[in-house]
Amino acid sequence: MLTLECPYCGVMADETELTPGYEAHLKRFGPGSTDEEFEAYMFARKNPKGVHFERWRHAYGCGKWFLAARDTATLEVFGTYPAQSSAPPQALQDKIKAKRPDWKGYK
Amino acid sequence: MSTRLSKGGRLIDRSAAVEFTFNGKRLRGFKGDTLAASLLANDQMLVGRSFKYHRARGIVASGAEEPNALMNMGAGARLEPNQRATTTETFDGLSAQSQNHWPSLDFDVGVINNAFSRFLPGGFYYKTFIHPRFAWKHVFEPFIRKSAGLGKAPTEMDADRYEQAYAFCDVLVAGGGIAGLQAALAAASGGARVMVLEQAPHWGGRAPVDGDVIEGIPAEAWVKNTVETLEKMPNVTMRSRCMVAGVYDHSYVLAEDRVADHTPGDGRPKKRLWRIRATRIVAATGALERPLSFAGNDIPGVMLASAVRDYVVNWAVSPGDRTVVVTNNDDAYRTAIALKEAGLAVPCIVDARAQADGALPTKARAMGIRIETGKAIAKVKGGKRVTGVALCMQAGEGAALEEISCDVVAMSGGWSPVVHLWSHCGGKLIWDAAAAMFRPDAARPPISHDGLAMVYPAGAANGALHADAALQDAAKAGAAAAGADPIAAAQAEPRDEAPLEPIWVMPQGAGVKLRAKMWLDYQNDVKVSDVQLAAREGYESVEHTKRYTTLGMATDQGKLSNINGLAVLANALNAEIPNVGTTTFRPPYTPVTLGALAGEARGEIFQPLRRTPMHAWHEAHGAYFEPVGLWRRPYCYTRGGENHAQSVEREILNTRGNVGMLDASTLGKLIVKGPDAGRFLDMLYTNVMSNLGIGKCRYGLMCNENGFLSDDGVVVRLAEDTWLCHTTTGGAERIHAHMEDWLQCEWWDWQVYTANVTEEYAQIAVAGPKSRALLEKLGGMDVSAETLPFMTFAEGTLAGLPVRVYRISFSGELSYEIAVPASHGLALWDKLVAAGADLGVQPYGTEAMHVMRAEKGFIMIGDETDGTVVPQDLNLGWAISKKKADYLGKRGQERSYLSSPDRWKLAGFETLDGSVIPDGAYILAQGVNANGQGNTQGRVTSTYYSPTLKKGIAMGLIKGGMDRLGEVVEFTKIGGAPVKARIVDPVFYDKEGARNNG
Amino acid sequence: MKRYSAFALAREALTNHLGWERAWANPAPKASYDVIIVGAGGHGLATAYYLGKNHGITNVAILEKGWLGGGNTGRNTTIIRSNYLQDSSAAIYEKSRSLYETLSQDLNYNAMFSPRGVMMLAQTHHEVRGYLRTAHANSLQGVTTEFISPQKVKELCPILNIDGPRYPVLGALWQARGGTGRHDAVAWGYARACSAMGMDIIQNCEVKGVTSANGVVTGVETTKGRIGTRKLGIVVAGHSGQVADMAGFRLPVEAVALQALVSEPIKPCMDVVVMANTVHGYMSQSDKGEMVIGGGTDGFNNFTQRGSFHHIEETLRALIETFPIISRLKMLRQWGGIVDMTGDRSPIISKTPLGNCFINCGWGTGGFKAIPGSGWAMADLMARGEPGPLAEAFDMWRFKEGRFIDESVAAGVAH
């Protein structure tokens, strides 16, 4: 039972209060994109054993979507931030880099 | 024999006798007894049979690690298999039966397996029963299944109830021994919220039995004082009989509270499952004594030395008259001393070490107990009870030096910290060679969400086996877990004990015949020779050995056997113990009742139940319900002696002939509002919604980004910036979440607000040629064709209730859907029923709705769609905007496979003989594919008997679709000849749509 | 290889079982092989076995990061069935099921396939229609199934409550020739047979890199050094993404945890396997007597193999409703398996963008039942370089074309 802090309402929310949304920071490809671009957008996933950026919704709380940086092997949560972010906050990236020197960045 | 001593027993109340039965025999015990203590007090050492060889099994332990003394407890609706006698409190009226034998415990036919045991070594199953092929299923496996298993299967529904409780704390202390109590004091001193959970009914753990002295007073008194101190602290919660079962991700903890296990039927829940979010956890879970591996160590009467001591000190029970103690450490001498002090005979202490000169051996010697050092047990004599032991040199091969008669052997192979809670979430262990044990490696703890250690081991669980060290360790652990300043630990008198000597096989040079009589896992019958065989055969990983031999897979999950087993394995592989490693510790620590894990959600409420405002009316009027999501919707309303099909037929004919009412409240209702709402809906729906006129309704389709149709419904424009989207019953929450996902995560700069108002309105479909007349009878607003044309809505009042009336139709009849605030739902329904009596109004259910929509050729999400269908497949191209540059699913639909002309497309079907096409049928095509499967060219999606048309009608998907109008194709029929059907227009009834207008 | 039999057991008993030879050898890796399979789970070992048996390719190494059979092969609920809806699924699962029928004899190792029957309960009208559709599809696919009445359900499984207040049983899809097997034995039996053919099973050997030249695979870097190969098969389930990354491509796969648990053993009370998909739970009774229970998957990427609670809570609620007698049994052990879920929840058996590198993954929650068929099809693909009819539909490019193999369409069927 994970617990994640909702960056909107500040609640430490149990996993059962949240709905998961898998990989974050995907760029949408719509009409006009190539089959390869569309496939990559829809299906190709980083699925790292390590630092992962992912979407969660505080569905049974404030209803807001947010993003989390979490280690999929240790389940450590490095931080959460609003879904309305095109990149993870720099401070969070710095924190992760300090804890996981081998980390190659969120892209 | 084993018996009750005339005095002593710190946990029993001799003034409170209790009666219980064991295998039908009436026996007496005392309040405070465990069932195991009561049984021993009644000379019942033999308590069960082993799993594989059906060998006689006696009580070995005094706690949760007990592998043998498992009982069928109670009977009927309170039958509980595999209950541990060592942790079950004896209560008046308790009834227990021993397990895994036939016809009786004393005479068990299954013991024949024992005679053949030399042919049944570890893993023998894999090497035989291979031929003939069918024999496994029909001969061998049934035999194995019958002789395996342990307790009886219950046959009745559980009479007890269970509950769950939630708690939050800063520090959860697992274990109420002296370490746990000390850790709790340290953690709580700084104000942290602390919970202390102890699995036993009493506090203090082993220290009172072992006679420790803390702060100058006996451990028992210190424990009493400390418990009182903690109980007075407002930030501390104490619970006994509450076992911490598991540590889960991010320091989530489950604990099982045995509320009424010992008082069955008193009205309280049998068990309570605590679900605790702790910030940090202190694991003060103590240590377990290890058996020694010598020949015959499984004969009833061979017990753990600590257990023998527990029975004497705690319950004044003597397991036997003459006890031989066998050990590799000083601690077991306490047992000899306790027995002697209780006036019992200890003919010999067999100490495998070359020397025994510490304080305890010296004391034992002074009491006149014979001590044989450098010696081992060559063999235990006896069958259903120990009768004696043969001694030999530990360094030798087992030549007997002498025999000593005895009826109990108390063994101690040293202690293993209970590291389960540390390990559940990945805490790592290190091998402490000096103490011959695995203990938590502080450098590699399990971590919580913040990346910091979440479990702090304390006391014996951390390898600090002696009271003085344990208290120091626990004080530190408690303070660290709470982030509090350290406090001074209570001081215990130091113990003067010589180090143990690791002894994994006794005697050291035992030959194969002796090794085949040395049990590691008593319940599963795994012996030293089995582990050695596994190693020889290449099952070298400790996990392979475990799985091949079943070592540690019994109900005690290896609490007694694991360390000994992996030491034997390491030896066989010529490897170091830490390099062999341990198997994985999984929750729960001891088995947890499934009922407690499920909690109170049972029967009607095992899932949440959603009711519309009219639900009770439906129940009172013969509704046969079907589950739709968490709702229950009337499938039909039965009258008189009707079967369901007859009810459905009546409801359809009445709706088409008079007027019907459907409770449509479950349909999703989502408000979408804001300056960008129109633009947003244009992305969400395949058609254009932004240009919908205020006051108008429009049918819309929604696809997922993959292009597949996911929901449909009528969209209504309420105001310039406000739309109301109807979804399917199952779609309301899903589509609302879908909207929020796109608004928050992709188009977050668009100004749109959504709200799911599904439950705020009741909605009633009034359909049929007399529906207008019915609404007019209620009065209050103009519902005429002129004022309220098809696909428009109006707000007003009906029978004095505020309503919004939509002129939409899913049945093809003149139809109104009336939305009313939920609190008025039943009132409106009642008024409609009353006003419609002379018009012949009747309610209709979901099945009538399905059939009527199929008669009209309307698609149904979930029938015509299954997640692989695009709107184009359903001839819904008219609802897909060609003008829009983008909508969700548009790009997906452009992919080659989704835009292929070969896709199966919607058509209607009518059988040549008027029969109904079977549900689920496929349309046959010529030949077979490369895998030899019959080819198909389509399938049925909706198929019904139409009461209106008096024949079978169907919709389906077929390659070529409506281009093949008039062709005859064949549908599969299981167990019969294919069904011939003609491809027709899917609109079977009122093709021109005249009835819509009444 | 000494044959296993009752006679051999009796013979070895005379020498106290000291004469048994190793089930599989423990070799050091050679410099190179014709084929390297990464992953000595059931699928990897079966691939190697059929490469040898069907195609005569035995210069093969199977590399395993941990201990063979230690992944999902050793932590699943051992259900074997082939009553799938889509043609391509039914073909490979039925091939697999039929191979299971004779696997013990083929391998001379008792894999304990027990065709005790699998039933999938229909508890809504929608589910009834879904299973009827499957039954019709199966009738054309050569898969023997039937839709049975609630009364027949009760006869086959008397402990089942068919009259629950919320989801009474309306019928079931019944596959009499489905059942269970002994999961470890499947891996061990294949390993023993591979070793007997001269293949090298190398445990505790983690692949750290994939080497290639001119777009064609040349070998792997491992914790035991570089090993050359002409062909590479990646069969690593939950870790497919990591190894694919080394080979330079990305997969439509995410790893999530699937929950399972067993109860304490009781005497036999349930012969068949029951799956209840509306309420989410499935259960069978093992030969040891434990009730083996499968739950749901967590919805987030996870490599921890740990048990979690809220899924099993839901599962147990469902199962106690379905089988009221289990309420007083106790959970003995719970765990999680890392399952690799593809974009359509169906597997991938495919060539890859890297020449002579092949991948077999994405079995998700349904891998155990597929082991023999998957190995058969993968061996065929690797030996010929082109997919045969069993593997053809499962290529990794189907996602680009939108050519999904979606099994969830019938009735939200869990595997």
Q: Is C313 on the interface with A (CB under 8 A)?
A: no
The amino acid present at B262, given as its one-letter code, is H
DSSP single-letter state for residue B140: I
The answer, yes or no, to whether residue C411 has pLDDT greater than 70, is: no
A59 touches chain B (CB under 8 A): yes
| Yes or no, beta carbons of B740 and A74 under 8 Å apart | no
Is the pLDDT score of C358 beyond 80?
Answer: yes
Token pair of A81, please? 């931030």
Task: Give the integer Cα–Cα distance in Å for C161 and C217.
Answer: 56
Is B557 in Cβ contact with C333 (below 8 Å)? yes
Structure confidence at residue C414 (pLDDT): 38
Question: Mean pLDDT, to the nearest integer, of C377-395?
Answer: 98
Q: Choose the mutation target among A33, A39, A43, A76 for the interface with B, i.e. most B CBs under 10 Å.
A: A76
Q: Are residues B621 and B558 in the same domain?
A: no
The predicted structure's pLDDT at residue C366:
87
Of A50, A43, A86, residue with least CA distance to A69: A50
CA dihedral B821, B827, B831, B833 (to 10 degrees): 100
Q: Residue B602: inside a domain, yes or no?
A: no
Kindly list the structural domains of chain C, giving each domain's residue range(s) and its CATH number in brackets, ordered by start: 6-82+84-109+183-252+344-409 (3.50.50.60), 118-179+255-342 (3.30.9.10)
Domain edges within chain A: 3-99
Q: Do B885 and A21 touch (CB under 8 A)?
A: no
Nearest to C325 among B136, B156, B628 (CB): B156
The whole-model pTM stands at: 0.96
Question: For residues C204 and B580, what is the distance between their CA atoms, to the nearest angstrom?
Answer: 12
Q: Would you say residue B184 lies in a domain?
A: yes
CA-to-CA distance for B730 and B630, rounded, in angstroms?
9
* CB-based contacts of B640, cutoff 8 Å, min separation 6: none
Asked if C184's CB is within 8 angstroms of B548's CB, the reply is yes
* Rounded-to-integer distance, Cα B408 and Cα B302, Å: 6
**In terms of domains, do B639 and B733 share one?**
no
Q: Are C331 and B589 in contact (CB under 8 A)?
A: no
**Interchain pair C254, A19: CB under 8 A:** no
User: Taking CB atoms and an 8 Å cutoff, what residues of chain A touch B890?
Assistant: 30-31
Cβ <8 Å between A42 and C343: yes
The answer on B772 and B651 residing in a single domain is yes
Which residues does chain B have within 8 Å of residue A75's beta carbon, measured at their own beta carbons? 249-250, 447, 449
Instruction: Read off the DSSP letter of residue B51.
Output: S
Among candidates B207, B195, B186, which has minimal Cα distance to B240? B195
Distance between the two ends of chain B, CA-based, in angstroms? 94
Same domain, B928 and B952: yes
Mark whether B462 and B513 lie in a shared domain: no
Domain-ending residue, one of B100, B124, B148: B124
What integer is the mean pLDDT of C334-345? 93
- Cβ pair C321, B600 in contact under 8 A: no
CATH of the domain at B736: 3.30.70.1400
Sign of dihedral through CA atoms B276, B280, B286, B287?
A: positive
Question: Cβ of A47 under 8 Å from any chain C Cβ?
Answer: yes
In contact, C311 and B431? CB cutoff 8 Å: no
Domain boundary among B711, B727, B759: B759
Give the chains touching B; criterion: ≥3 Cβ pairs < 8 Å. Answer: A, C
Q: Quick: pLDDT tens for B835-852.
A: 999 999 999 999 999 999
What mean pLDDT, rounded, does chain C reach?
Answer: 95
> Does residue C9 carry a pLDDT above 70?
yes
Distance from CA of B162 to the nearest CA of C (A): 10
Distance from C-alpha of C412 to C-alpha of A11, rounded to nearest angstrom: 33
CA–CA separation, B265 vs C391, rounded Å? 59
B29 shares its domain with B172: no
Query: Are residues C307 and B248, on separate chains, in Cβ contact within 8 Å?
Result: yes
Q: Give me the residues of B, 624-663, that contact C with CB < 8 A.
A: 626-628, 632, 635
Confidence of residue C410 (pLDDT cuts 50, 70, 90): low
For position B225, what pLDDT does the model report?
98
Please state the domain count of chain B. 7
C255–A72 CB contact, under 8 Å: yes
Same domain for B111 and B221, yes or no, is no
pLDDT at residue B113, rounded to an integer: 84
Average pLDDT rounded to a whole number, residues B635-646: 97
pLDDT, residue B495, reads 87
Helix or strand run (H / E) with residue C379: helix C371-384
Mean pLDDT within B213-230: 98
Per-residue pLDDT tens for C28-38?
A: 999 999 999 99
CB < 8 Å to C253, chain A:
45, 47
Determine, yes or no, domain membership for B354.
yes
The DSSP secondary-structure symbol of C410 reads T
Same domain (yes/no): B639, B764: yes
pLDDT digits (tens, 9 = 90+) for C267-286: 999 999 999 998 889 999 99
Q: Does C343 touch chain A (CB under 8 A)?
A: yes
Please answer yes or no on whether B737 and A75 come within 8 Å at the CB atom. Answer: no
Residue of B nearest to A14 (CA): B277
pLDDT tens digits, residue range B136-176?
888 889 988 888 889 999 999 999 999 999 999 999 999 99
- Confirm whether B295 is domain-assigned: no
The verdict on B774 and B660 lying in the same domain is yes
Between CA B458 and CA A51 the distance in angstroms is: 32
Evaluate if residue C412 carries a pLDDT over 60.
Answer: no
Establish whether this prediction's ipTM goes over 0.95: yes
Question: Which domain does B93 fall in, by range?
Answer: 3-124
- What are the distances in angstroms from CA B675 to CA B681, B693, B993, C184? 12, 16, 36, 61
Q: How many CA atoms lie within 13 A of B615 on its CB side?
A: 14
Which residue in chain C has the smallest CA separation from B588? C333
Which of B734, B759, B784 is at the close of a domain? Answer: B759
Evaluate whether B813 touches B995 at the Cβ level (below 8 Å): yes
Average pLDDT over residues B369-377: 98
Beta bridge partners of B372: B350
CB contact under 8 A, C241 and A46: yes
Place B109 in a pLDDT band, splitting at 50, 70 and 90: confident
CATH fold of A3-99 reads Folate-binding fold (3.30.2270)
What is the tens place of the pLDDT at every residue in B776-822? Answer: 999 999 999 999 999 999 999 999 999 999 999 999 999 999 999 99
What 3-state class would DSSP assign to B155? coil
Interface test with A, best of C242, C256, C303 (most A CBs within 10 A): C303
pLDDT per residue over B18-36, tens digit each? 999 999 999 999 999 999 9
Cβ neighbour number for residue B434 with a 10 Å cutoff: 9
Q: Which two tokens stand for residue A50?
A: 């390590």
B635 shares its domain with B773: yes
B570 shares its domain with B621: no
Note whether B816 and B727 are same-domain residues.
no
Task: Say if B308 falls within a structural domain.
Answer: yes
Q: Does B544 touch chain C (CB under 8 A)?
A: yes
Find out whether B449 and A4 touch, Cβ atoms under 8 Å: yes
| A3 to B885: CB separation less than 8 angstroms, yes or no | no
Q: How many CB pairs under 8 A join A and B?
A: 70
Report CA A37 to chain centroid distance, whole Å: 21
Average pLDDT over chain B reads 96
